[in-house]
Amino acid sequence: MKVQLVDHNLSDSAVVRAARVSTVGGTHRLLPEPPTAESTERDAGLIGYLMRERHGSPFEHGSLTLYVEAPIFVFREWQRHRIASYNEESARYRELKPDFYLPPVDRDLVQVGKPGAYTFEPGTIEQLATVDTELSTAYRAAYEAYERMLAAGIAREIARAALPVGTYSSMYVTMNPRGLMNFLSLRTHRQDATFVSHPQREIEVCAEKAEAIFRALMPITHAAFEKNGRVAP
Ligand SMILES: Cc1cc2nc3c(=O)[nH]c(=O)nc-3n(C[C@H](O)[C@H](O)[C@H](O)COP(=O)(O)OP(=O)(O)OC[C@H]3O[C@@H](n4cnc5c(N)ncnc54)[C@H](O)[C@@H]3O)c2cc1C
């Protein structure tokens, strides 16, 4: 699975600028002061305050565009997040390649417990082999059916119905920092979070990659998000 930075205008200073219009008015025309230890501390204090008090709108100024390759079942979960913009490849307009998801060997395979409180444990060697064989067989049969239909002149939009949710897709997604933090709080599992979420591991892998990008671009905001129990403002 791939999550790559395409474009962004994120910065901690955009949050500070947006928040300060409340008290000092517009500052975008002023020459930016070179950051000092004092100004950095002041900005971090303001961002921490906004996060803690859940003054969320200053975190909406900015956008991050990611390119994602992941199975369709991950996209179904990701695209439930409405505070984002999406463009995905079309199985009506292009023929899909035979790219299918197989879980890596360290992916826990056995679900224990009840809904809302599942835990996952490693599979045995036999279970790993079963997953590998069954998924590969199903994928091969599905793709062959897809190709037979295309060869028989059937439209791609009908033939695609044979393909499973393990088929890889690709998309661009654009989010603002507030929407992204909401996504990260729900799609990562952190025992120390104020609200502990239990996402499917595959979307969590993508969320972790997105979070690494976010952390590098907005280190002060990310630190405040962490300090605030990963509650989106
Ligand atoms: C572990 C887990 C299990 C899940 N299981 C299921 C499931 O079984 N079935 C299922 O259908 N979904 C399931 N979901 C999806 C979940 O219900 C949300 O649709 C998804 O997480 C998007 O969250 P969101 O609405 O906060 O995000 P966004 O859509 O990005 O919205 C961000 C925030 O904007 C506000 N907002 C957005 N739209 C509205 C609106 N129309 N009205 C009011 N406020 C709005 C809310 O404050 C929201 O938190 C699951 C999610 C997780 C993380």
For the stretch 118-137, pLDDT in tens is: 889 999 999 999 999 999 99
Cβ neighbours around 55 below 10 Å, total: 16
pLDDT digits (tens, 9 = 90+) for 160-205: 999 999 999 999 999 999 999 999 999 999 999 999 999 999 999 9
- How large is the average pLDDT for residues 147-171? 98
Cα distance between residue 92 and residue 89, in whole Å: 9
Q: Is residue 116 scored above 80 in pLDDT?
A: no
- From 57, 60, 81, give the residue whose CB has the most ligand 1 atoms within 8 Å, as the site to mutate: 81
Å from CA of 164 to ligand 1 middle: 24
Report the percent of the chain where pLDDT is more than 90.
88
Q: Give the model's pLDDT for residue 203.
A: 98
Cα distance between residue 53 and residue 120, in whole Å: 35
Å from CA of 80 to ligand 1 middle: 6
Q: Give the model's pLDDT for residue 27.
A: 77
Cα distance between residue 35 and residue 54, in whole Å: 26
64 near 184, Cβ under 8 Å? Answer: no
- Tell me the one-letter amino acid at 36: T
Q: Give the model's pLDDT for residue 205.
A: 98
pLDDT averaged over the chain?
95
66 near 5, Cβ under 8 Å? Answer: yes
What ligand 1 atom has the least distance to the C-alpha of 179? 30
Q: Give the model's pLDDT for residue 31.
A: 66
CA distances from residue 201 to 53, 69, 126, 168, 189 in whole angstroms, order as listed: 31, 15, 21, 16, 9
What phi, psi does 39 have (nearest 5°)? -70, -35
Between residues 39 and 7, the one the model is more confident about: 7
166 near 135, Cβ under 8 Å? Answer: yes
| List 29, 187, 190, 230, catalytic entry | 187
Cα distance between residue 151 and residue 154, in whole Å: 7
Residue 204 parent element (H or E): helix 201-217
Q: Give the model's pLDDT for residue 96.
A: 95
Question: Cβ < 6 Å from ligand 1: which residues?
Answer: 80-83, 179, 182, 186-187, 197-199
- From 73, 74, 82, 206, give the residue whose CB has the most ligand 1 atoms within 8 Å, as the site to mutate: 82
Q: Give the model's pLDDT for residue 22.
A: 85
List Cβ neighbours of 180 (8 Å cut-off, separation of 6 or more).
Answer: 64, 210, 214
Strand partners, 3: 68
Q: Give the model's pLDDT for residue 213.
A: 98
Cα distance between residue 25 and residue 17, in whole Å: 9
Å from CA of 184 to ligand 1 middle: 12
Cβ neighbours around 210 below 10 Å, total: 22
Between residues 37 and 187, the one the model is more confident about: 187
48 near 222, Cβ under 8 Å? Answer: no
Catalytic residue flag (residue 76): no
Q: Is residue 54 scored above 90 in pLDDT?
A: yes
User: Pairing state of beta strands 168-175 and 64-71?
Assistant: antiparallel
209 near 129, Cβ under 8 Å? Answer: no
Å from CA of 225 to ligand 1 middle: 19
- From 186, 195, 196, give the residue whose CB has the most ligand 1 atoms within 8 Å, as the site to mutate: 186
User: Pairing state of beta strands 168-175 and 110-112?
Assistant: unpaired
* Token representation of residue 29: 């025309």
This prediction has a pTM of 0.94
